[in-house]
Amino acid sequence: MGRFIYGMNVSLDLRIEQVPGDNGAGEWLRIGEDLHRELNARTENLALIVHGRIYYETMEEFWPHAHADDSLPDFLREYGEIWTTKPKVLVSRTRHTAEYDTRVINDDAIAQLAAIRAETDGTIGVGGADLATQLLKARLLDELLLATHPTILGFGRPLFDDYDMPVSLDLLEQLSFESGVTLHRYAIRYDGEAR
């Protein structure tokens, strides 16, 4: 059985974007080479990536062309190659096709994702707050991987949408980077049970 891990850049107050549509490109982010190389390695080790539509379209806009752009540093070109070739699932009510080794799920997404999780051997990366919230509500989300940037935004989109139940976490791993960013990996506990 696979494990769903929601990975996201967050501020200290757990915001993922300061203004609607900044799509993770806010000036508050401090993604240096060392952090990017760590995330490249983790993405390379994923069995599968699952994205919500907004997150997928943000990724699709840049990464498929990055691997061939000689003006970019090698670690960005490397991530472009990893993302483009990694098997992906796009969860969307409005899109019916996608490129770059991507399967599209339109209907009954949570049931289909539960089946994918049961059939997958390894870690499944999750991108998108709405999708992660749905998986959390369905008790299918197993871990969080948060790159916490040393900034307090005070407003903006939160890590989860409309989730009003307490959730206990167990710290599994913690790394620090030169930029002041810390990477935390947590296991999610439902009703006090470690996953």
Residue ranges covered by each domain of the chain: 3-194
Per-residue pLDDT tens over the stretch 125-135: 999 999 999 99
* Nearest of 148, 165, 192, 193 to residue 13 by alpha carbon: 148
The residue with tokens 């989109």 is 157
pTM of the model: 0.92
* Nearest of 121, 119, 53, 63 to residue 89 by alpha carbon: 53
Per-residue pLDDT tens over the stretch 92-114: 999 999 999 999 999 999 999 99
Residues whose CB is less than 8 angstroms from the CB of residue 152 and which lie 6 or more positions away in sequence, other chains included: 11, 12, 13
CATH number of 3-194: 3.40.430.10
Per-residue pLDDT tens over the stretch 60-90: 999 999 999 999 999 999 999 999 999 999 9
DSSP labels for 21-56?
A: T-TT--TT----HHHHHHHHHHHHT-SEEEEEHHHH
User: Which pLDDT belongs to residue 171?
Assistant: 98
pLDDT class of 191 with cuts at 50, 70, 90:
confident
